[in-house]
Homo-oligomer: A and B are copies of this chain.
Amino acid sequence: MSISWPSYFSSRASSINGSQIRQYFALTEKPEVISFAGGFPDSNIFPQEKITITLSRLIEEEAGRAMQYGPTEGHLELRRYLAEKNSRSDKTCTVDNTIITDGSQQGLDLLCMILLDPGDPVLVEEPAYIGGMSAIKSYGGIPVGINMDNEGPDPKAMENAILKLRKKGKSPKFFYTVPNFQNPTGLTTGFNRRREILALASRYDLAVVEDDPYGKLCYEGEVPSSYFDIDNHDRVIYLGSYSKVLIPGIRIGWMTGPEPLIEKITLAKQSSDLCSSSLGQQLAYRLSREGFIDRHIEDLKYAYREKRDAMVESIERCFPEDIVYNRPRGGFFVWVDFPDRYPESTKLLDMALRRNVAFVPGEGFSSRCACTHSARFSFSQPGCKEIITGVERLGQLLEEVGAKKVAGPIFANNTGI
């Protein structure tokens, strides 16, 4: 007798479903497609040679540690380095506040495991990072979207959402945010907005989970102080990652937060996968310690800034004027809103694919099935020429499906500071 697997699954398994992004990854693999879909970093600017040399030295000098199992909480040197980077004169961060994770996605997953009971609401940005919402949903959490304006999530909307939930006898456990160059909108939450949101978090006793994979990739001005830095009450959990500033292929990120939480997360990680890759940790540590990553980030900023400019300028030139989009100051993403008279963005995608261009329709990023006339355009992977060609093709398509003329960036005034 064979097992009937689906009926054999746990009740939790029913809330584990594929993210929309997953199906679009497949699109990025066809060589003829110019893809604005995946949010991968550009592999052409991975520091190949430096990594090869460092790995060789690492294995020569400390094979025993670099290839062996490591402590669940991560290698001490890397944790110490990251803790020092996260410390300020008025706020000390130690190794006990820091755990290494398999990319920041694992950090999110472990947090949801430790914090969420089925049915718990979680405040998220509207629209929000798909992987964040997947992690929340996979533990039975319910993402509740908070609308954003130029300065980030709207505190009024947030307070209303909290009060509405309270009336139903529920309290959100945390607010999940990507405050710098958000995935998917490219928006950066302003400094004052961060303070307002922290004040709300304190008033209603919720934690803030600050996911910051893009903060270092700032092409103009500076990013505001992090929630983690502003917070004085151990209310913020910071997630960092080497995926965008070094390479994703080693799966190394980290989480910094209050000691009792990090302690529990460590226990959870132990039964999840014992430990993160020692090779990856030691590579990240060496390249951080010797200042290489800081220098490499300057090269990355130069390369991605050019791509951003290529995308924004060609959108400005080629898209009908009633289509609104932003000009992100960093990160990988431009968010585009199509007025209602255009087809829904899933339909636009079908048409775009026939012209060998891909992007991600907006609705997967919405916690409430909105954003049907929006899309995320990622400029991180294609080269500048491809970006221009891709946008030109889309511009032609949009003209054909019916259009008028030129609009400015929606978030043009978002200085984000």
Contact = CB atoms under 8 A, between A and B. Distances in A.
Given A105-B273, A106-B273, A271-B138, A279 B249 contact: yes
A249 B115 contact: no
Contact of A117 (B12, B40, B273): B12
A55 interface: yes
Interface string A229-257: 00001110000000100011111000000
A7 to B, nearest CB: 10
A11 interface: yes
B46 A63 contact: yes
A56 interface: yes
Contact of A68 (B9, B248, B275, B276): B248
Interface in A269-323: 270-280
A244 B173 CA distance: 41
Contacts of A18: 267, 270
B250 A277 contact: yes
Contacts of A71: 25
A64 B277 CA distance: 20
Interface string A31-72: 000000000110110101001100110011001111111111
B264 A9 contact: yes
A376 to B, nearest CB: 16
A116 interface: yes
Interface residues of A, number: 86
Most chain B CB within 10 A, of A44, A65, A202, A272, is at A272
A131 B41 CA distance: 35
- How many copies of this protein are present in the complex? 2
Interface in A1-36: 1-3, 5-6, 8-13, 16-19, 22, 25
A202 B1 CA distance: 6
A165 interface: no
A121 to B, nearest CB: 13
Contact of A10 (B105, B116, B271): B116
Interface in A103-149: 103, 105-106, 109, 113-117, 120, 131, 134-135, 137-139
B205 A3 contact: yes
Contacts of A8: 115, 173, 207
B51 A258 contact: no
Nearest to A39: B69
A402 interface: no
A35 to B, nearest CB: 13
A72 B106 CA distance: 13
A268 interface: yes
A349 to B, nearest CB: 21
12 contacts: A1-B202, A1-B233, A2-B233, A5-B264, A12-B114, A17-B267, A19-B271, A43-B65, A67-B247, A69-B249, A109-B272, A277-B280
Interface of A: 1-3, 5-6, 8-13, 16-19, 22, 25, 40-41, 43-44, 46, 48, 51-52, 55-56, 59-60, 63-72, 102-103, 105-106, 109, 113-117, 120, 131, 134-135, 137-139, 173, 202, 205, 207, 233-235, 243, 247-251, 258, 260-261, 264, 267-268, 270-280
Given A3-B234, A16-B267, A102-B273, 14 more contacts: A8-B115, A10-B113, A11-B117, A13-B115, A48-B67, A52-B56, A52-B60, A67-B250, A69-B243, A69-B249, A109-B271, A131-B271, A134-B271, A138-B268
